[in-house]
Amino acid sequence: MTTIQFPKDLKWGAATAAYQIEGAANKGGRRPSIWDTFSHTPGNVKNGDNGDEACDSYHRYEEDVQILKELGVDVYRFSISWPRVMKDDEGTLNPEGIAYYRTLIQSLITEGIEPIITLYHWDLPQTLQDIGGWENRETVNAFQTYAEAMFREFGDSVKKWITINEPWCASFLSNYIGVHAPGKQDLQAGIDVAHHLLLAHGRAVESFRGMVPDGEIGYAPNADWLEPYSNSQEDIDACKRDMQWKIEWFMDPVFKGEYPALLQDIFAKHNAYVKVEEGDLETISQPIDFMGINYYSGSIARHKKDNGLFDVEAIWDGYDKTDIGWPVYPEGFYNLLTHIHQLYGDVPIYITENGACYNHEVENGMVNDQERIDYLKQHLTALHRAIKSGVPIKGYILWSLMDNFEWAEGYSKRFGIVHVNYRTFERTKKESYYWYQKVTHNNWFEL
């Protein structure tokens, strides 16, 4: 047996997000978000699911904190629901919303669990979407107002903050591909939203420096990994183009103060341009304390003329798949992390999401999700390889603590290490929970 031993200071965690677990969508003064609108629009979400009740974590947070305590994690990453804490878009707080998160935060700290807050995990107030949403530069100001209010309310007890979760999903998946809210299919809109999300990130960092001087702040881009099918230049270039869309497009502006020219040229061929105003890139590229990385899958890929924006085709045949259909590709995790380290140097990295969808149900009071344990073993081995290769990994935060609303897939896709019965909201710890519990306690596991 091979033992994989992690550095003693590596932080172990689990993650969730507000719209995916809280429910209580119309309770406690919460206003509608774009995901309330999108999920209540027929045809957008599988089985017509929505986040109205979700996992009812708004009412069951005490139980969830106890589950986290028993799990033995160092950190819990959750998001604040912007429309739950802000009564309007001019900075008026909703006291009930503030009280909910203050209680949650205090409960975590009492149990010795460090809270990591994500400010934007996709639930934009609908009132802002009504004036253009992230396409409208004014939304950046509203985000900064919201972020400052959160720093003021919680900065004394929360010292790790993430500004934007998966800006590629919140921009291109949501406004160009169109499968996430608000469901537009317009490349220029995707580029405008991406730029304003990065600008909002930068403005929040600026405010954070003066308001939480002893805190750490970062953001959490997502990326998959594409390995060229052959060593032909056209296959190599095709993979590079597609990966730049998630990696360089969202990391070069932050770490280099510029957008990648290659993609700007490609977008220009589609008459789409990034509209940078004076000072934007200085705001976006000010120093941050860590980078989050969300990784799920990868594959090989090859050049395919006139296929999509980048003339590339991913080949998923031949790989084991999770129950959401994504290839299990742990080598991509190692390749991505070492690639990012080569591009951006020793920026501290937290794995802010990694996990797998397997839809096991409860049988005789237990959930045998051995496939998820195997996935975690493979990906934590890849993580260990990256650490041994010098990548400055500071923590691993598993997606997700519990089964939850998986966006356009609704409740049909289960990513949790805790099973949720969506009728009774009963939580059942899966076998993967007990496996991960040993990892968080021992800081090693056996292959």
Residue ranges that bind ligand JJW, judged by CB under 6 A: 17, 20, 166, 169, 173, 177, 179, 222, 294, 296, 353, 399, 406-407
53 is catalytic: no
Query: In the complex with ligand JJW, which residue's Cβ is closer, 78 or 290?
Result: 78
Task: Check 22, 148, 353, 409 and give the catalytic one.
Answer: 353
Q: Minimum Å distance from CB 400 to ligand JJW?
A: 7
DSSP classification of residue 25: T
Summary count for the chain: helices (H), strands (E):
16, 15
The reply to whether 138 sits in an annotated binding site is no
Residue with smaller CB distance to ligand JJW, 58 or 445: 58
Distance of closest approach, residue 147 Cβ to ligand JJW, in angstroms: 19
Closer residue to ligand JJW (CB): 45 or 281: 45
CA distances from 105 to 60, 208, 319, 371 (A): 14, 19, 41, 33
166 belongs to the catalytic site:
yes
Residue 122, annotated as binding a ligand? no
Do the strands 75-79 and 114-120 form a parallel or antiparallel pair, or are they unpaired? parallel
407 is in an annotated binding site: yes
Shortest reach from residue 408's CB to ligand JJW, in Å: 7
* Six-digit token string for 435: 């496996």
The β-bridge partners of 11 are 395
DSSP strand pairing (444-446 vs 3-5): antiparallel
User: Helix, strand or coil for residue 349?
Assistant: strand
- What's the min distance (Å) between Cβ of 307 and ligand JJW? 13
**Beta carbons within 8 Å of 374's beta carbon, 6+ residues apart:** none
- Dihedral (Cα; 41, 44, 46, 49), 10-degree rounding: -30
Which of 268, 244, 266 is closest to 256 using CA atoms? Answer: 244
Query: Closer CB to ligand JJW, residue 352 or residue 378?
Result: 352
Report d(CA 88, CA 77) in Å as an integer.
Answer: 25
**Secondary structure of the chain: what % helix, strand, coil (to 5)?**
45, 20, 40
* C-beta closer to ligand JJW: residue 171 or 222: 222
Torsion angle (degrees, nearest 10) of CA 408, 413, 419, 420:
30
The C-alpha angle with vertex 433 and arms to 430 and 436, in degrees rounded to 5, equals: 150
Look at the chain and count its residues: 447
By beta-carbon proximity to ligand JJW, the closer residue of 191 and 212 is 191
Q: Which of 166, 248, 313, 409 is catalytic?
A: 166
Q: How far is the CB of 131 from ligand JJW (least distance, A)?
A: 25
**Closest CB to ligand JJW among residues 174, 283:** 174
53 annotated to a ligand binding site:
no
Cα–Cα distance, 426 to 357 (Å, whole number): 19
Q: Least CB distance from residue 166 to ligand JJW, whole Å?
A: 5
Query: Is residue 20 annotated as involved in ligand binding?
Result: yes
290 three-class SS: strand
Which residues, 6+ apart, have CB-to-CB distance to 334 below 8 Å? 382, 383, 385, 386, 389
The least distance separating ligand JJW from the CB of residue 414, rounded to whole angstroms, comes to: 11
Residues belonging to the binding site are 20, 121, 165, 296, 399, 406-407
**Residues annotated as catalytic (active site), given as ranges:** 166, 353
Residues belonging to the binding site for substrate are 20, 121, 165, 296, 399, 406-407
